[in-house]
Amino acid sequence: MGVLDDVGSHRNELKTDSYTTTISDLLATYKRGDLRINPEYQRLFRWGLDRQSEYIESLLLNIPTPPLFFATNPDGKTEVIDGLQRLSTLLKFFATEIFDGAPIATNENNDIEQNNIQVGTLLYSAPLVESLEGFSLSTLPETLTRTLRYTRIPIIVLEKESSPRARFHVFKRLNRSGSILSDQEIRNCSARLFGNKFPDILRDLASEECVELALALPDEQAKKMGVAEQLLRLLANAHSPQPLRHSVIEFLDGFMEYASEGKFVFDRMEQNRVIEIFSLISAMYPNGEAFRFWKDGKSQGAFSSNLFDIVATGIYRNLDFLRKHPDQLSTRIARLLQGDEIREVTGAGSNTKKKHQGRLDLGARWFSEDFMPPEEHGDE
């Protein structure tokens, strides 16, 4: 297939429509249930009151704002795929009209109230209209609330005739452009355009205690689905039909798409295998030491995804042997961290295809039944 045919075939996978609608009509559509926000997306509403107030100010001053992107589902209802922060800001400001019994916020510095769309907004001082400070829907002058209600918002809709694959790529690319979401949050949400099964399993496994203990990621990284990203990395290392080519992000995106389409069978047996791996690791290294570099006589420092490639994937591929000889696991991890072998496949340029494959090969060999690890090195 030539490039013209290739481009043409993919253009045909994407059907869109565009229009403008008033905020009043948009909110009514949401209240009827014809516009949905997937609960998984709603948890990602993170704009602070400063950003929310600035957006309300933009609408009041007729400052152009980006369009909202929706996707039409087979049942005819639509869901948001980009513009979550802006739409959630509107829902929150008009909460007392949309949600029965919704209160007005009493303490907007409270994180729970600040991003709870069912608690009405108390605006902050905005960059231009500083006098917005402290106003809510019920106290803002009626002239201004009318201005908001009848402000027109540009909408772009991906029609239901668009392929799931096209939707996946639209969501991913829109949300990765200046987004506050992490790469894994974007993958998790965009993959749901294929269905919830694989993203849900990945999220559930990420909450297993043994996995959290073995990785010991910082809270901020864990909150942004860092644990789920490492599990995806493990599965991609072991099962991706394509090797890493240009970047790890692209590699993980590709496997998320592949698995979410149902091409990777992530059944209960496979899930239990993942849990068993981290149970073995956390029993011996409960504070993330298995994935930290050796320094000053101990494993320490930040979590290393490079070490994760070697250790977790190596154990995954040799689990049948290691479950019978768990004593070998502690010994081999310790000698790996203290040895010189990891230097060639980590450090500068570690995310090149050559070094990535080198890590996978090292792990597969190091934890195999036939391999005899070298004796421990002394501190250098």
How many whole angstroms separate alpha carbon 21 and alpha carbon 370?
67
Question: Span 351-358, mean pLDDT?
Answer: 88
Give the pLDDT confidence of 365-377 residue by residue, as tens digits.
Answer: 999 988 887 765 4
Half-sphere exposure (Cβ direction) of 241: Cα atoms closer than 13 Å: 7
Nearest to 110 by CA among 63, 157, 49: 49
Query: Which pLDDT score, from 0 to 100, does residue 380 have?
Result: 40
Q: pTM of this prediction?
A: 0.66
CA 59, 139, 32, 117 torsion: positive or negative? positive
173 in the Ramachandran plot: left (φ > 0), alpha (ψ -120 to 50) or beta?
alpha
Query: Which pLDDT score, from 0 to 100, does residue 2 have?
Result: 79
Whether 56 has a pLDDT exceeding 90, the answer reads yes
Whether 200 has a pLDDT exceeding 70, the answer reads yes
How many whole angstroms separate alpha carbon 216 and alpha carbon 226?
10
What is the pairing mode between strands 16-22 and 152-158? antiparallel
Strand order in the sheet with 16-22: 16-22, 152-158, 68-72, 78-82, 35-36
Which residue type is seen at 81? I
16 — phi, psi (to 5°)? Answer: -130, 160
**379 — pLDDT class (breaks 50, 70, 90):** very low
**180 — pLDDT class (breaks 50, 70, 90):** low
Give the pLDDT confidence of 141-154 residue by residue, as tens digits.
Answer: 999 999 999 999 99
Question: Span 158-178, mean pLDDT?
Answer: 74
Give the pLDDT confidence of 72-126 residue by residue, as tens digits.
Answer: 888 888 888 888 899 999 999 999 999 988 888 775 555 667 888 999 999 988 8
Greatest mean pLDDT among 33-47, 164-178, 218-232: 218-232
How many whole angstroms separate alpha carbon 210 and alpha carbon 219?
16
How many whole angstroms separate alpha carbon 26 and alpha carbon 30?
6
Tokens linked to 177: 């452009």
62 in the Ramachandran plot: left (φ > 0), alpha (ψ -120 to 50) or beta?
left
Whether 312 has a pLDDT exceeding 90, the answer reads yes
Query: Which pLDDT score, from 0 to 100, does residue 55 have?
Result: 95
Half-sphere exposure (Cβ direction) of 224: Cα atoms closer than 13 Å: 11
Nearest to 285 by CA among 186, 206, 213, 341: 213
How many whole angstroms separate alpha carbon 96 and alpha carbon 113?
14
**5 — pLDDT class (breaks 50, 70, 90):** confident
Angle at 321 between CA 351 and CA 286, to 5 degrees: 60
More confident residue, 63 or 249: 63
Question: Span 337-355, mean pLDDT?
Answer: 85
Query: Which pLDDT score, from 0 to 100, does residue 220 have?
Result: 81
Q: Could you give the 3-state DSSP secondary structure of residue 152?
A: strand
Query: Which pLDDT score, from 0 to 100, does residue 378 have?
Result: 46
